[in-house]
């Protein structure tokens, strides 16, 4: 290929850095990735900061401040392909728990001079503000999935990122189901796969890191949890975690609020 290498930029909104670090954590594949792209902007990894436009932008983090809103609009203009990574960027993240509370009240309790704090009422995913080309779920994302998305982009093919339940990967691995064999509550049936059924492989129920799967019937699972002995509060908290503000999970947690 005579073409120049595509320019990759990695941006951060409101988040913990865990997802973008998965790129650095992909030690074995990192050099190959860097062989295929030009790392134009990645403050976490390199002091080199080239100006846009960029071919691919990876965005971590949710939109929680007026500054985030401005930044993401500019990033969208600067990037040909915009890929959001992680539960914060795709669903608002754990910080979306504040969406059910009064943010002003929090700032008053936490900060000595709350008047300096400029924040939005809610923590929202990037796609609430700009068009997103691909969303890579997870809290944190799976580094192999991130490599797969970049790989697919570099080779002009469809990424192999299924949107079905954790159960499918769980069964493909040959696991014994913890719900049916051990009466352990598992979010797997309503959660999109991505971790290769990590928790059920260690005899634990899934916590829902990757958010709702393609056709999550949360009400049916909530009913089953209840039959297994859960209270409404347990069910509410099961759906209100890393992906609390993803629509299907949000509705189910609200249905079990009172």
Q: Which is nearer to other proteins, 128 or 177 (CB)?
A: 177
What is the three-class DSSP state of 125? coil
Region of 14-22, 24-32, 199-207, 232-240 interacting with ligand SF4 (CB under 6 A): 199-207
Does residue number 24 form part of the binding site for other proteins (CB under 8 A)? no
Does residue number 198 form part of the binding site for ligand SF4 (CB under 6 A)? yes
**Ramachandran class of 139: left when φ > 0, alpha when ψ lies in -120 to 50, beta otherwise:** beta
The strands making up 54-60's β-sheet, listed across from edge to edge, are 38-41, 7-12, 54-60, 79-85, 134-136
Report the 10 Å Cβ neighbour count for 163.
13
Please select the residue that binds other proteins; options are 45, 217, 232, 237, rule is CB under 8 A. 217
The token pair that represents 38 in the structure block: 């030009």
Region of 16-24, 83-91, 169-177, 232-240 interacting with ligand SF4 (CB under 6 A): 169-177
Does residue number 197 form part of the binding site for ligand SF4 (CB under 6 A)? yes
Report the 10 Å Cβ neighbour count for 120.
18
Are 14 and 123 in contact, with CB atoms under 8 Å apart? yes
Does residue number 213 form part of the binding site for ligand SF4 (CB under 6 A)? no
Q: Which does 147 bind (CB under 5 to 8 A by kind): ligand SF4, other proteins, none?
A: other proteins
DSSP 137-174: --SS--HHHHHHHHHHHHTTS------SBHHHHHHHTT
Q: State CA 202 to chain mean position distance.
A: 22
Does residue number 49 form part of the binding site for other proteins (CB under 8 A)? no
Does residue number 166 form part of the binding site for ligand SF4 (CB under 6 A)? yes
The least CB distance from residue 186 to ligand SF4, in Å, is: 3
- Binding-site residue total for ligand SF4 (CB under 6 A)? 22
- Binding-site residue total for other proteins (CB under 8 A)? 45
Are 210 and 192 in contact, with CB atoms under 8 Å apart? yes
Q: Between residue 136 and residue 165, which ones bind other proteins under the rule CB under 8 A?
A: 147, 150-152, 154-155, 157, 160, 162-165
Does residue number 195 form part of the binding site for ligand SF4 (CB under 6 A)? yes
Region of 2-10, 48-56, 166-174, 223-231 interacting with ligand SF4 (CB under 6 A): 166-174
Handedness of CA 159, 163, 167, 171 (dihedral sign): negative
Q: Which residues pair with 38 in a beta bridge?
A: 7
Ranges of beta strands (E only) in the chain are: 7-12, 38-41, 54-60, 79-85, 134-136
Q: Which does 97 bind (CB under 5 to 8 A by kind): other proteins, ligand SF4, none?
A: none
Q: Which residues pair with 9 in a beta bridge?
A: 41, 57
Measured over all CA atoms, what is the biggest interatomic distance in the chain, rounded to whole angstroms? 63
**Interface residues with ligand SF4 (CB under 6 A)?**
166-167, 170-171, 175, 177-179, 186, 188-189, 191, 195, 197-200, 206-210
**Interface residues with other proteins (CB under 8 A)?**
29, 32-33, 35-36, 147, 150-152, 154-155, 157, 160, 162-165, 167-168, 171-177, 179-183, 186, 188-190, 203, 213-215, 217, 219-221, 223-224
């Amino acid at each position: 290929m005579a073409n120049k290498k595509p320019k990759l930029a990695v941006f951060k909104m409101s988040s913990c850095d865990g997802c973008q670090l998965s790129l650095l954590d992909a030690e074995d594949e990192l050099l190959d990735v860097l062989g295929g792209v030009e790392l134009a902007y990645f403050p976490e990894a390199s002091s080199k900061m080239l100006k846009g436009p960029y071919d691919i932008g990876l965005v971590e983090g949710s939109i929680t401040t007026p500054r985030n809103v401005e930044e993401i609009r500019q990033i969208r203009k600067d990037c040909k392909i915009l890929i959001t990574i992680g539960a914060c960027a795709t669903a608002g993240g754990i910080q979306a728990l504040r969406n059910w509370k009064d943010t002003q009240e929090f700032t008053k309790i936490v900060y000595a001079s709350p008047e300096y704090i400029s924040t939005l009422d809610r923590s929202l995913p990037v796609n609430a503000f700009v068009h997103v080309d691909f969303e890579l779920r997870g809290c944190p994302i799976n580094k192999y999935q991130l490599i797969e998305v970049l790989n697919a982009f570099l080779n002009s093919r469809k990424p192999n990122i299924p949107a079905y339940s954790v159960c499918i990967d769980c069964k493909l691995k040959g696991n014994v189901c913890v719900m049916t064999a051990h009466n352990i509550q598992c979010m797997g049936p309503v959660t999109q796969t991505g971790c290769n059924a990590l928790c059920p492989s260690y005899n634990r129920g899934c916590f829902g890191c990757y958010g709702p799967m393609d056709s999550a019937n949360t009400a049916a699972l909530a009913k089953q949890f209840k039959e297994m002995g859960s209270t409404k509060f347990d069910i509410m908290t099961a759906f209100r975690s890393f992906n609390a503000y993803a629509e299907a999970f949000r509705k189910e947690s609200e249905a079990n609020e009172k």
